Amino acid sequence: MKFLDQTKIIIRSGNGGAGCVSFRREKFIPYGGPDGGDGGRGGDVWIEAVDGLNTLIDYRYQQHHKAGTGGHGMGQNRHGADGQSITLRVPTGTQVLDEDNETLIADLSEAGMRVLLAKGGNGGFGNAQFKSSVNQAPRHANPGLEGEERTLWLRLKLIADAGLIGLPNAGKSTLLRAVSAATPKVADYPFTTLHPHLGVVTIGESERFVLADIPGLIEGAAEGAGLGTRFLGHVERCVALVHLIDATTDSATEAYRTVRHEIEAYGGELAAKPELVALNKTDALTPAEANRKRSALARAIGKEVRLVSGVSGAGVRELMNEIAALLRARRGEETQARTSPAGEWAP
């Protein structure tokens, strides 16, 4: 299935049904009076986040979505049927934006969240609603109200616990293959990953977390170079970032600073997320060379640097355990913040 994380849709709720002008006609009842029924209400347009989906491709080829029109009122005070509502089912993590692609309407960050996008029009009153002591035979009824039509953007931000970032060909896809059942494309040239991949990493018997492989960034990505920063939105929801650097590159420090610059230029609080830095592809170096590069990089950036190899598996288990420990600590802090009692009230 093709991955698609952004698309435009056009929705329209249903029109309300028209009211009916009718008079009671029965044998031996010469003055039956008005009995025109009301029109039915137009259908609504809803959007719902569901599990089991990870792409918006269904809305790429079907962009127009319209709810049902309400039925017209009928004689004998019969009410028109309500129009059929429709529900757009999207992956968890989808955002709904207005036509300007900037104004956020809804953020479906949890499965089961359901939002009303367009309300159906009300049905019109039949002539039975207008009868009174001074107007005993009204000969008019209301038409139904029109539904709403809106142009919206759907933008998917994958739900992952940790995200792999780095320059192209840093070994992110190889590492994801080594620690999960995901099968991203792996090759010896840049930009083999053209869209994000998710993998489930199992730690022990009962602990798991979701790791996202994000397409590589290059210098100038914030201005649109390469694949740009389009896919960085998928790591906005991550708890932590794992920054992989190719250990065989001439300047690991320059590679680190290039990616950090693009993350800071992107914004979205990405730069403030916890970051684990690791030198990858250490199987291509001698232990002495790997340790020398690690020490130089650690001094330059002021952070701890790990040595890993997605091919040989060296250091991978330790890195995954460190990610899991970081996630546990962050979740514990969030749980404590939600359950801690509020401070004493003061005027």
Predicted confidence at residue 250, as pLDDT, reads 84
Q: Are residues 202 and 231 in the same domain?
A: yes
Q: Are residues 194 and 253 in the same domain?
A: yes
Q: Are residues 41 and 98 in the same domain?
A: yes
How far the first Cα of the chain sits from its last, in Å, is 58
Within-domain flag for 345: no
Predicted confidence at residue 61, as pLDDT, reads 87
Q: Are residues 170 and 283 in the same domain?
A: yes
Within-domain flag for 342: no
Q: Are residues 84 and 68 in the same domain?
A: yes
Q: Where are the alpha helices (DSSP H) in 41-200?
A: 172-179
pLDDT exceeds cutoff 90 at 228: no
Q: Which domain holds residue 74?
A: 1-156
Q: Are residues 170 and 149 in the same domain?
A: no
pLDDT tens figures, 46-57: 999 998 787 888
Within-domain flag for 343: no
Domain count, the chain: 2
User: Quick one: pLDDT band at residue 346, thresholds 50, 70, 90?
Assistant: very low
Task: Give me the CATH number covering residue 14.
Answer: 2.70.210.12
Predicted confidence at residue 347, as pLDDT, reads 46
Predicted confidence at residue 105, as pLDDT, reads 93
pLDDT tens figures, 186-222: 766 556 666 677 788 888 777 888 888 887 676 655 5
Q: Are residues 291 and 190 in the same domain?
A: yes
When the pLDDT of each residue in the chain is averaged and rounded to a whole number, the result is 84
Q: Are residues 306 and 232 in the same domain?
A: yes
Within-domain flag for 2: yes
pLDDT tens figures, 56-104: 888 988 999 999 999 999 999 999 999 999 999 998 889 999 999 889 9
Predicted confidence at residue 336, as pLDDT, reads 63
Per-range mean pLDDT, top range of 123-127, 283-287, 338-342: 123-127
User: Quick one: pLDDT band at residue 334, thresholds 50, 70, 90?
Assistant: low
Predicted confidence at residue 327, as pLDDT, reads 84
Give the Cα separation of 258 and 167 in Å (integer).
8
Task: Give me the CATH number covering residue 318.
Answer: 3.40.50.300
Three-class secondary structure of residue 62 per DSSP = coil
Within-domain flag for 95: yes
Predicted confidence at residue 345, as pLDDT, reads 43
Three-class secondary structure of residue 172 per DSSP = helix
Within-domain flag for 242: yes
Residue that terminates a domain, selected from 131, 156, 181? 156
pLDDT tens figures, 5-63: 889 999 999 999 999 999 998 888 888 889 999 999 999 999 999 987 878 888 988 99
What is residue 191's DSSP assignment?
-
Three-class secondary structure of residue 74 per DSSP = strand
Q: Are residues 324 and 180 in the same domain?
A: yes
User: Quick one: pLDDT band at residue 154, thresholds 50, 70, 90?
Assistant: very high
- One DSSP character per residue, 192-260 reads ---S-EEEEEEETTTEEEEEEEPPPP-TTGGGT-TTTTGGGGGGTT-SEEEEEEETTSS-HHHHHHHHH
Residue that terminates a domain, selected from 105, 137, 156? 156
- Average pLDDT of 285-311? 90
Asked if 22 contacts 72 with a C-beta cutoff of 8 angstroms, the reply is no
Q: Are residues 32 and 94 in the same domain?
A: yes
Residue that terminates a domain, selected from 156, 173, 197? 156
- Average pLDDT of 272-283? 88
Within-domain flag for 346: no
Within-domain flag for 347: no
Q: Are residues 141 and 19 in the same domain?
A: yes
Q: Are residues 146 and 131 in the same domain?
A: yes
Predicted confidence at residue 1, as pLDDT, reads 46
